[in-house]
Structures are given as C-alpha cells and as structure tokens.
C-alpha cells in the first residue's frame, strides 16, 4: 500500500497517497478546482494555470499549480484565497482572448465572475493546453503533431505544416481537446483530419466504415494481432 500523507484543503483534513497531486487529492474529496489541461491518463503538465491554489508549508506561503504539485504532510491548501481568485480571473480573461464562445470556458468564466476580457481579442480557438500533443505521444505512441513558433505566434501543427506521416487518424487529439478546436470529418469512406485524407476500413459483415485503415494497421503491428483481427467491427464480432 502506498504511504499516506495528511494535509488540509480549505480547512478539511484529507489523507492522500504520497505522490498524489493537490488537484487529485481535491478531486477525491469532491473539492472543486477548475482546470482545462489535466487528464488522468496524461503526465501532469501545468499549462492552463487555472488550477492555481495557495499553499502554506511551514511558514512559507505561495501559489502553485495544483495539477503538478504533490501533497505533503502538514501542507495547508486554500483553493479560494483572494489572491487565487485574482490569478484565476486573469487566466480566464486571457483564455477569453483566444476563445470567447466555448461553453466550457464560458461556464468557468461565469463561475468566477468574469463576463469579458480587458485584453484585445485574438481569436484562435486553440488554448494551447497541449493535451492533443501529449495524448498523441503518451497514449497513442506517435508524434504526429507538435508546437510551432513561440510566444503569441505559438500554434499546434503537423511537421512543416504538411501531411502528418506518423498520424494514424485515430481522432484521439480531437476527442481530448477541451474546447473542440480539433475537428475531423468522415465522408465516402474517408476520414479527413489535419488536412489529410485517410481511407476507412469496412466491416466484412455489415459493410460499415468503422476505423481508419492506418489506425488498424498500427494497432495490429504494435499489439502483434492476427491479420484478420479487424475484419469485422465490434458490433459484428
């Protein structure tokens, strides 16, 4: 059994396994901390900074991103301190600069009393949380997309903005995107994602398209599956 540590979050005594992050400990205790770049299947990253909290350990008080800061014995966490609210409101304003209409951002903004941003709009849609890139690398196991440029010009892109050779068109990047920026379409036996067309595989039994050929080939090779493993869809197996 993992070692347990004791801490307080918003005055509540909490026990959590050593190595757990503050955000995970808060979630297990049903304590709300807003976040956009956290997923249990991905390594902690700390991109969006919405999950900032105030901590006190000994005499030192400071603000940290709760998704990347691990719990410790005697740690005191305040998720609603005035300084924390100011930081979150600023982060929300900056998110609204890039994406003003997505329901997830609007809901978080409303909960924190932010109805508009003082900054000039620069609508990109993408909030640069990096979840798509990390999912592609850490979960799928390929490196089809990444960042390009820096600073205000930073974007998610395929290598050299061309057809992504490593992409298997699985759609995981679109699925994990918290603001639905990444889209794909399926028409006439073709899935189109990242401006690239991928042939779909038809079920031998029902004839429906159920997955990109390249994705099935990748899984077959990676998992050493029989050649006929993906002849039929899950509904017809």
pLDDT tens digits, residue range 97-151?
999 999 999 999 999 999 999 999 889 999 999 999 999 999 999 999 999 999 8
Would the pTM of this model clear 0.75, i.e. be above it?
yes
Question: Is 105 in the same domain as 157?
Answer: no
91 and 180 co-located in one domain: no
Question: Phi and psi dihedrals of 107, rounded to 5?
Answer: -65, -45
- pLDDT, residue 235, reads 85
Are 135 and 107 contained in the same domain? Answer: no
pLDDT tens per residue, range 35-90: 999 999 999 999 999 999 999 998 899 999 999 999 999 999 999 999 999 999 99
Whether 47 and 96 share a structural domain: yes
The predicted pLDDT at position 237 comes to 80
Model confidence band, residue 1 (pLDDT cutoffs 50, 70, 90):
low
Backbone angles phi and psi of 126, in degrees to 5? -70, 135
Range of the domain at 163: 131-223
- Average pLDDT (23-34) is 96
For residue 50, count other CB atoms closer than 10 A to its CB: 23
| Any domain includes 197 | yes
pLDDT at 42: 94
102 and 160 together in one domain: no
Residues 85 and 139 in one domain: no
Residues 8 and 107 in one domain: yes
Assess if residue 70 is contained within a domain. Answer: yes
Q: Which pLDDT does position 58 carry in this prediction? A: 86
- Cα 213–Cα 214–Cα 218 angle in degrees, nearest 5: 120
For residue 123, being part of any structural domain is answered with no
- Supply the pLDDT for residue 2: 63
Give just the sign of the alpha carbon dihedral 84, 90, 95, 100.
Answer: positive
Select from 53, 80, 111 the last residue of a domain: 111
- Does residue 235 lie within any of the structural domains? no
**Listed residue (190, 188, 155, 194) closest to 172, CA to CA:** 194
- Structure confidence at residue 234 (pLDDT): 86
Domain membership of residue 117 (yes or no) is no
Asked, for residue 234, whether it belongs to a domain, the answer is: no
Number of folded domains in the chain?
2
One domain for residues 75 and 162: no
CATH code for the domain of 14: 3.10.20.740
Q: Could you tell me if residue 152 is inside a domain?
A: yes
Distance, in Å, from the CA atom of 90 to the CA atom of 202, rounded to the nearest integer, reads: 49
What does the alpha-carbon distance between residue 81 and residue 218 come to, in Å, rounded to a whole number?
Answer: 48
- By percentage, how much of the chain surpasses pLDDT 70? 99
Do 102 and 192 lie in one domain? The reply is no
Q: 120 lies in a domain?
A: no
Q: Do residue 45 and residue 79 come from a single domain?
A: yes
How many residues would you count in the chain?
237
Does residue 171 register a pLDDT over 80? yes
């Amino acid at each position: 059994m993992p070692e347990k540590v004791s801490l307080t979050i918003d005055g509540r005594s909490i026990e959590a396994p050593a190595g757990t992050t503050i955000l995970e400990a808060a979630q297990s205790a049903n304590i709300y901390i807003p976040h956009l770049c956290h997923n249990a299947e991905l390594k902690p990253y700390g991109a969006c900074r919405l999950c900032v909290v105030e901590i006190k350990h000994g005499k030192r008080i400071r603000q940290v991103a709760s998704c990347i800061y691990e719990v410790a014995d005697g740690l005191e966490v305040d998720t609603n301190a005035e300084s924390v609210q100011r930081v979150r409101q600023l982060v929300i304003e900056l998110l609204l600069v890039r994406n003003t209409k997505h329901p997830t951002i609007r809901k978080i903004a409303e909960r924190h009393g932010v109805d508009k941003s003082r900054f000039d709009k620069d609508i990109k849609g993408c909030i640069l949380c990096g979840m798509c890139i990390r999912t592609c690398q850490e979960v799928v196991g390929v490196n089809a997309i990444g960042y390009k440029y820096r600073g205000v010009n930073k974007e998610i892109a395929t290598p050299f903005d061309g057809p992504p050779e490593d992409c298997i068109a699985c759609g995981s990047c679109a699925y994990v995107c918290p603001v639905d920026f990444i889209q794909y379409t399926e028409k006439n036996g073709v899935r189109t994602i990242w401006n690239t067309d991928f042939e779909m595989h038809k079920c031998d039994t029902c004839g429906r398209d159920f997955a990109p050929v390249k994705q099935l080939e990748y899984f077959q090779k990676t998992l050493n599956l029989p050649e006929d493993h993906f002849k039929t869809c899950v509904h017809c197996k």
